[in-house]
Every structure is written in structure tokens, then in C-alpha cells.
A and B are shown apart, each in its own frame.
Chain A
Amino acid sequence: MENLKEKLKVEIIELLNLEEMTPADIANDEILFGEGLGLDSIDALELIVLLEKNYKLKIENPEEGKKIFRSINTIAEFIESKQ
């Protein structure tokens, strides 16, 4: 699980071009959207693409997406639960 979280952080930094950020700058429980990391709705779409491309996981329900993309912890838990 810890390896997965680190991998996710690297992928997110690269995908969203979060320059000057390292995986160490993102806490596992940090809120990704809004006041936390400050991601927005376009980033949410990018994360949906990331999950589908890299992990073959689809998010059909937007309400489900809100919970899944809350933090690195919740994304990792979602991936683990599906594999």
C-alpha cells in the first residue's frame, strides 16, 4: 500500500505538472481539491483518465469520484479494493 501511495504521488505530480513539488510535499491524508492541494475540476478529469489508463479502473458515478479523490489514501484504498 505504501509503495502504491508513493507511485500515485509521482504520477499525479507528473500528470498535473505540479512543478517544484516532490512526493514528500504531499501528505497521504492531505485534501487534494479546494483548500488542500488546490486541484480543480480539470484536474479531476485528468485523475479519472489516470485511473483508467494506468489501473484500468472506471469511475462512473460522480458522487463516488468525490470520495475516491479526497486524498492519496482514498485513491490508494480504491485501487487496492478493486485489485
Chain B
Amino acid sequence: MRAYIKSTSAICAQQTFDKSEYLAEYIAPEGQYLKATEPPYRGIIDPKQIRRMSRIIKMSVATAHQALAEAEVQVPEAIIVGTGLGCIEDTIKFLKDIIEGEEGILSPTAFIQSTHNTIAGQIALLLQCPNYNFTYANRGHSFENSVIDARIQLSEGKDNILVGAAEEMNLQAFEIMYNMGCTGDRNKNDGSALGEGASFFVLTNEQKEGRPYLQDISVSNHITAEQLEKSLNSFLAKNKVDASDVDLLLMGSNEFEKDGFYEKIASLFADNTPQLDFKKICGEHFTASGFAMHLGTMILQDQVSLNNSYLAPQLKRPVRKILIYNHYKAMNHTFMLLSI
């Protein structure tokens, strides 16, 4: 079933929150991972509320707020959030407090905010929203499972579903992941750079001229490149889409990680099919496909401005169908088909 995208908002390493400056100028990253370019939160979030919010909460609340405002929705009928690591900054602070305080008295704020579902809970509290509230923490499919749930909610008659992806990174979390071999160091060019950010959407059943929609989503785990090809073919066939109908490929590959999966997908499309590696913008993280869906939506909505961007491939025709392919560590594979 189609899930129409009323609105979307994102914060990532590049400028995406201020839509008047959307990806207008390249922001050179600094440090080992891609830090989010965050907007000034005052004016978006009540200053009294900000002081207890960690960065992931602020990024999520700001993007949820912008998406709801653009959709002219006061209270969504469901709030669904996907996050792999959740509120990792507060989790680290809380665990550090336990060790340094020798399991003595602990700061309540870090404890309260150290759970994954703080994000969806905080948004609901600010909106006074008593409706369905769910968080998916399923590593590389956290956002995908949120979207699948959102589609189920829409099929059951709910409308205006707020669905989002959120991830934050800090130096300690980066070092742990780097030492475990889970990521590369951007400074050393030795692998995909980690990123962070939040992407939110308001989904609806309501069709409208010029409104992009998520046509379908498919997820699979631990498959081979050959199985991936079959998976793509059946995904396209199910949606009655030919490879030549796809106007743009949004791929999770990057210059340091050209693996067999992305090469396999690229080989199934004509050489002149434009391809954009979205992780150059948002970096690698568990919910990077959330940003891909945001970027795809923006491209479908606003073809011209992105053509002027430093990142856009040469688009020779109006973009009407976008195929997103992403995988996390070759374990969690995702196809999403966006159309307008």
C-alpha cells in the first residue's frame, strides 16, 4: 500500500533543516565522524525544556516539530521512532556515573534519558499526544521496522502518522565502535564515516497531486549478492516497475566501501541511471536509510533546487521514481521505492 508523505524534515552533517539553504553549500566535516549541523533550538523548543534534552532529543524534537508544522498536524495519530543506539550520550554518562560513583547515588536525568524510547516519549509529552507510541531498536532495520509499522497503522485506518529515525554519536561511542572494528575513521579514510542526525515524516493515506509516496519497502537479512539480485527483481516485479523506470538510485555506498552488494545493484541498471551516494551527506549509522527517504522525498518534491546542489548527479529528466538501496554491515538490507 502507498504511504503518502505529507512532509519531512531532517538534521544531518550538511544543512538540511533550513530548507531555504537546503544542501546549498558544502560544509567540510571535521573530526573522526560526521557531526550533525544543528540549528539554533531556541525558538523551536521551549527554553525551559531544552536544558534537560540531550542532542538526539533536540534533533528529533526539532525535526518532528518542523514536519508536523509543514503538514499542519497538531497531534499525530501515532508516533513511531527507529533508533539503533538510542540516547547513547546519556547512556554513557549514566554508565560512567555507576562506575565512578561505585554504584552509589546517580544523576536522575541521565538515567531517565538513557532509554531508546525517550525520543518518542519526549515528543509525545511535548505534544500532549496520548496515541500509539512505539520505538524500534533493531540495529540496521530500526527505521525500516518503524516504517513498516506506520504502513500497518495507515492500513488500519489511522492517519497522520509521525515516523522518524534518530541517531547520535559522540567521541566515546565512536572510539568504542572504532576499536571494535565497527567503523572507519574519517580522518584516516579507512572506512565509511559514522554520522548522526534525525529525519522525521508525517505519513498519510490522503493522496494529493504532487505528493510523494512510499510505494513499497522490502527488508532482508544475511543474504548473498546473488540472493540480493533476486530480491530486487521480485521487489520491482511486485511493484510493476522496470529497472528503466527508475530515475535515480539512492545508494548507501561510499567511496571507501565499494562492496559487492552495491556493485551488484548498480550493475542491474543502465549505466546512465543517475546514482547518488547519500552517506556522503549523512554518514553511516543504523538509521541512515531514514535520511535516504528524506532526501528522496525532497528530490521528488523539489527537483530544480537540488539539481543546483553540489551533490546531485546530472538528472536528465524529471525524477518520478527513486530506488533506495542500503545495507548495514552486509547484515540488514533494505529496498525502498519512492514515487510521485
Using a CB–CB cutoff of 8 Å, the interface residues on chain A facing chain B are: 16-20, 38, 42, 45-46, 48-49, 52-53
Contacts and interface: CB of A to CB of B under 8 A. Distances in A.
B50 A19 contact: yes
B106 interface: yes
A49 B48 contact: no
A40 to B, nearest CB: 10
Interface of B: 47-48, 50-52, 101, 104-109, 112
Nearest to B48: A38
Contacts of B52: 17, 42
A47 B313 CA distance: 54
A43 to B, nearest CB: 9
B109 A46 contact: yes
Nearest to B112: A42
Given A17-B51, A19-B50, A19-B51, A52 B108 contact: no
A34 to B, nearest CB: 13
B51 A53 contact: no
Contacts of B106: 49
A46 B108 contact: yes
Given A16-B51, A17-B51, A53 B101 contact: yes
A18 B109 CA distance: 14
A38 B47 CA distance: 12
B108 A45 contact: yes
Nearest to A16: B51
Given A19-B47, A46-B109, A52-B104, 5 more contacts: A17-B52, A19-B50, A46-B107, A49-B105, A53-B101
Contacts of A38: 48
Most buried by A among B50, B105, B106: B105
A10 to B, nearest CB: 16
Contacts of B48: 38
A71 B107 CA distance: 21
B50 A49 contact: no
B50 A48 contact: no
Contacts of A18: 51
Contacts of B104: 52
11 contacts: A17-B51, A19-B51, A20-B47, A38-B48, A42-B108, A42-B112, A45-B108, A46-B109, A49-B106, A52-B104, A52-B105
Contacts of B107: 46, 49
A53 B109 contact: no
Most buried by B among A20, A38, A53: A53
A53 B107 CA distance: 10
Contacts of A48: 105
A26 to B, nearest CB: 15
Top 3 nearest A-B pairs (CB, nearest first) are A17-B51, A45-B108, A52-B105
Nearest to A44: B108
Contacts of B112: 42
A6 B113 CA distance: 29
Nearest to A52: B105
A6 B190 CA distance: 48
A48 B105 CA distance: 9
A69 to B, nearest CB: 15
A52 B105 CA distance: 8
